[in-house]
Amino acid sequence: MIGLFGTLNLAASALQAQMTGVEVSGQNLANVNTTGYSRQSVNITTSSDIDTADGQEGTGVQATIQQAVSSLLNSQIQNQNSVSGYWAGQQSALQGAQDGLNEYLNSSSSSSSSSSSGTSENSTGLATQLSGLFDAFQGVATSPTSTSARQTLVSQGQSLATMFNQVSAQLSSLNTSLNTTVSQGVTSANQLLTNIAGLNKQISTAQFSGGSTDDLNDEREQDLENLGTLANFTTSTDANGSVNVSIGGQSLITGDQVDDTLQSYSGTNGNQYVETVTGGVPLTLTGGSIQGTIDARDGTLATLQSGMDNLAGTLISQVNSIYSSGYSTTGSTGANFFNGTTAGSISVNSALTNNPSLVQASGSATASGDNSVALQLANLASTNETALGGQTFTASYTQTVGAMGDDLQTANNQVTSQASVSQMLATQRSSVSGVSVDEEMTNLMSFQKAYEASSELVQTVEAMMETTIQMKTG
Amino acid sequence: MRVTDAAFNNTLINQLNGLTSQQYNLQNQVTTGMRIQSASDDPAAMEDTLNDQANVAAQTQFSSNITTLQDRAGSIYNVLESLQSVTSQAGEITTSAGSGTQTTADLQTSASQVNSLLNQVVSLANTKDPTTGQYLFGGTASGQAPYTVTKDASGDITGVTYQGNSSVNQTEISAGVNVTVDIPGSNTSGTGVRGLFTDSQSGADLMNHLIALRNDLSSGNTATVTSTDSNNIQDDENNVTYQVANNGVVQTHLDTAATLASNNSTSLNTMISNSSSANMVQTMVQLTSAQNAYQAALESGVKVMQLSILNYIS
């Protein structure tokens, strides 16, 4: 028999345990919308029995707080984040490339029902300008001495050159901003690494002193998941609760120490790459938005830029080699139609701007009405160029556009499907670690009822004690 | 599976976002009438569309080339008609003069008729294209008048000089198909496009033959008119007839090419439409179904979210 005082202690332990339950429900309810919060639960167990003359008797209840965490799901989410991050990096870079190319279809006619007649779509980019140039050569070939045909040719040439310049400028500005994205990604990753090392320290200290590490764990998990979005990494967990982090095989965090950090460096092509600061080891990652950005920049964007330069360069050399042999209506010869060598530098010979009669369309110094050079230039539209992989100018360009579109479409599809995977993992984790209001309210009521009941016990024992005392005095 | 409030909310938000983005795309397709607008929408269709568009632009340019050439061929035909009349009149004069019934005065009248025909021919030879202002019969040296004349004291033409060349321009009227509508005034090379007034293949030399005929008529040399001039004028007439026939062939060719270019444009536009235009019926049905799904998600989501145990705790 544990007696009145024993029973009073028992009631006190019950009140404490139920109070802990109420507190935990309160904490869970308070964090119902907190990102990364892992639900806590109260594990209520009976206190150890004691042997009495009447046999074993209970001494009440004790409560411990547990965090509902699935480390498997956490690590899956970290990995999934680097896959999602990789494709998001690609998507954002390639979307920029598509914008830079500015090749969109516009519907110019409002009659959307007519499907068989009338042009209803126009493109906004180089394709129109390119075919416009060859058509303008045709125009001059048809009316070789017409000033207006020559003016059309010169202004069409200028539009094409300007469009090449714009695309080239857009793509190189995109390249610059992607390099900035890489550097910024590295800065963010370093910040997260520092945070993680700091949290490792707090967690190991708290664990040593027996304190709660639940909220610190949640915070560190958030940082690790954010780091996963930037770069893929591997982890190992120490006995003291610290998480060690390696990126690309390089150990960056051991316990509470930051072994090494990341920095961006300029490669031989002037683009930004990632290496470790102390070790100076260049890192080739397989996931995360930093690598996604690098891959899109060095892959699709670089191909696009060199494709544009090759297209412009071939156009300049092919047009000029025919054009320079021609004669203008004033008998002049040997000049070039285009100046420059790349998409960025292409321009129309400025002498033509002021004087279209200088266009060298004739094949003979004495026959100003001859069109043979203009006709040869117009025929370039259907000439398969060796420098363009045996394709015509237009076909080569549209293939470049198509290849870029393929890459962006792949990135878009990947982003969508990876989002589904992330969503599924998030739902699974939420099923383990998330807070349910219904559940917490039910728990709250049951703790409250138990608390009320235990307080009744205290009152009963108190009344019994009173009775006991009055037995003597009465 | 244990479903928590946050999981429910996140899933609902994702579903609503997905449906909103679907509606956005479909609505955009309905408004623009286009299924694809950028390369990433459908790279292969975009590639086809851009190639087809370049092809449509080329067909449009061919049509414009053909119109220019049809105008020029028409102008040339007008000159040819006049020349036919000139050569036929000259031929009649040679016949009358050779009949031996004409008096000296008659022959003088005929000579002055021929002189007037000669002036008419020189003037026709220097005809300009009304649209471009270029000389029609100077070959590719069309910047200057093809014919200059020398006259005697009384103002009669005694000789002509051709300042043009025997080259003609080729113009593309459909992919890889070139035509020539131009006729050089003179071609004494024996190859290439026959000259209109002077041509070594046909023996035509209209102006000089008219000068000789006039001179023979005015000197009363009817024997030469019959033996030489008559045949020469016949050669000239034959050459003009040949040129008329040729012009007719070219014009027919141009008409056919114009129809071809227009048909090509139509079929290319159909192809563009097939690869890039939205199927209105299908798109509207898809939009309606996306709207229904959106509405259902909203209604059911709100209903579920409104209910919790809190509604039943007093």
**Are B158 and B84 part of one and the same domain?**
yes
**Are B101 and B10 part of one and the same domain?**
no
Establish if B38 belongs to a structural domain: no
**Are B89 and B138 part of one and the same domain?**
yes
CB of B277 within 8 Å of any CB in chain A? yes
Establish if B151 belongs to a structural domain: yes
Number of Cβ within 10 Å of residue A115's Cβ equals 17
List, for residues B74-111, the tens digit of each pLDDT value.
999 999 999 999 999 999 999 998 887 888 899 999 99
List, for residues B140-185, the tens digit of each pLDDT value.
987 789 999 999 998 899 999 999 999 999 999 998 899 999 999 9
The H or E element containing residue A247 is strand A243-247
ipTM of this complex prediction, to 2 decimal places? 0.86
- Across the interface, whether the CB atoms of A367 and B272 are under 8 A apart is answered no
What stretches in chain A show pLDDT beneath 50?
109-120
**Are B258 and B126 part of one and the same domain?**
yes
Mutate to test the interface with A, among B3, B17, B27, B38 (most CBs of A within 10 A): B38
Establish if B274 belongs to a structural domain: no
Q: Please report the pLDDT score of residue B147 as a whole number.
A: 95
- Across the interface, whether the CB atoms of A397 and B14 are under 8 A apart is answered no
Establish if B44 belongs to a structural domain: no
Read off φ and ψ for residue A275, nearest 5 degrees: -145, 165
- Chain A residues with CB under 8 Å of B313 CB are 441, 445
**Are B128 and B254 part of one and the same domain?**
yes
Q: At what angle do helices A126-142 and B43-98 cross, to 10 degrees?
A: 10
CB of A144 within 8 Å of any CB in chain B? yes
**Are B14 and B56 part of one and the same domain?**
no
Q: Please report the pLDDT score of residue A28 as a whole number.
A: 94
Establish if B42 belongs to a structural domain: no
List, for residues B38-84, the tens digit of each pLDDT value.
999 999 999 999 999 999 999 999 999 999 999 999 999 999 999 99
Quick check: B233 pLDDT over 80? yes
CATH assignment of the domain containing B229? 1.20.1330.10
**A347 three-class SS:** strand
pTM reported for the whole predicted model: 0.85
Chain B residues 113-172 with CB within 8 Å of chain A: 131-132, 134, 138-143, 165, 167, 169-172
Q: Please report the pLDDT score of residue A308 as a whole number.
A: 95
Give strand pairing partners of A121.
A107
Q: Closest Cα of chain A to B206: distance in Å?
A: 24
The CA-based angle A280-A286-A287, given to 5 degrees, is 110
**DSSP strand pairing (B186-187 vs B177-179):** unpaired
Structural domain containing residue B14: 5-33+279-312
- Chain B residues with CB under 8 Å of A103 CB are 38-39, 46, 50
- pLDDT confidence tier of residue B130, bands split at 50, 70 and 90: confident
- Chain A residues with CB under 8 Å of B308 CB are 437-438, 441
- pLDDT confidence tier of residue B133, bands split at 50, 70 and 90: confident
> Could you tell me what percent of chain B has a pLDDT over 70?
100
Q: Please report the pLDDT score of residue A50 as a whole number.
A: 86
Establish if B46 belongs to a structural domain: no
**Are B129 and B11 part of one and the same domain?**
no
- Across the interface, whether the CB atoms of A438 and B309 are under 8 A apart is answered yes
Establish if B172 belongs to a structural domain: yes
**Are B127 and B177 part of one and the same domain?**
yes
**A233 three-class SS:** coil
- Chain B residues with CB under 8 Å of A116 CB are 266, 269-270, 273
Q: Among B11, B36, B40, select the one facing A105 at the smallest CB separation.
A: B36
- Across the interface, whether the CB atoms of B165 and A419 are under 8 A apart is answered no
Q: Please report the pLDDT score of residue A121 as a whole number.
A: 54
List, for residues A64-93, the tens digit of each pLDDT value.
999 998 989 999 999 999 999 999 999 999
A-chain residue closest to B177, CA distance? A379
Q: Closest Cα of chain A to B89: distance in Å?
A: 33
**Are B183 and B297 part of one and the same domain?**
no
- pLDDT confidence tier of residue B131, bands split at 50, 70 and 90: confident
Establish if B65 belongs to a structural domain: yes
Number of independent structural domains in chain B: 2
Read off φ and ψ for residue B308, nearest 5 degrees: -160, 180
CB of A445 within 8 Å of any CB in chain B? yes
Q: Please report the pLDDT score of residue A227 as a whole number.
A: 96
**Are B289 and B197 part of one and the same domain?**
no
- Across the interface, whether the CB atoms of A362 and B142 are under 8 A apart is answered no
**Are B141 and B255 part of one and the same domain?**
yes
The CA-based angle A244-A418-A86, given to 5 degrees, is 55
Q: Please report the pLDDT score of residue B66 as a whole number.
A: 95
CB of B269 within 8 Å of any CB in chain A? yes
Measured between alpha carbons, how far apart are the two ends of chain B, in Å? 29
- Residue A79 DSSP class: H
Strands annotated E in chain B? 147-151, 157-162, 171-174, 177-179, 186-187, 198-199, 204-205
**Are B222 and B307 part of one and the same domain?**
no
